[in-house]
Amino acid sequence: MRDRGLRETEAMDMIAAQMPAELKRAGADFIIENDTTLNTLEQRVADVWTHLVQEADARCVAGV
């Protein structure tokens, strides 16, 4: 609240308007957990990026 200059009621309204995490996860193609070190997070992001690049390359080769 302090960082954004919000009153408590404004912050609570923003939180209430967000989609529940379970629904976000259910619709996600990838979930990158941010529950450990920065190095681990960076590796997880790199792994997903590598997968996406490989998937895109495969589509290009297949002409999709």
Distance CA 51, CA 32 (A): 13
CB atoms within 10 A of CB 11: 13
Residue 27 one-letter amino acid: G
Distance CA 46, CA 40 (A): 10
- Report the pLDDT value the prediction gives residue 64, as an integer from 0 to 100: 72
Q: Is there a contact between 11 and 1 (Cβ–Cβ < 8 Å)?
A: yes
Tens digit of each residue's pLDDT (9 = 90 or more) over 41-52: 999 999 999 999
Q: Is the dihedral of CA 34, 35, 38, 42 positive or negative?
A: negative
Distance CA 63, CA 33 (A): 33
Mean pLDDT of 7-34: 94
- pLDDT interval class at 37 (50, 70, 90): very high
pTM of the predicted protein model: 0.67
Mean pLDDT of 4-14: 93
Domain boundaries of the chain, sorted by first residue: 8-62
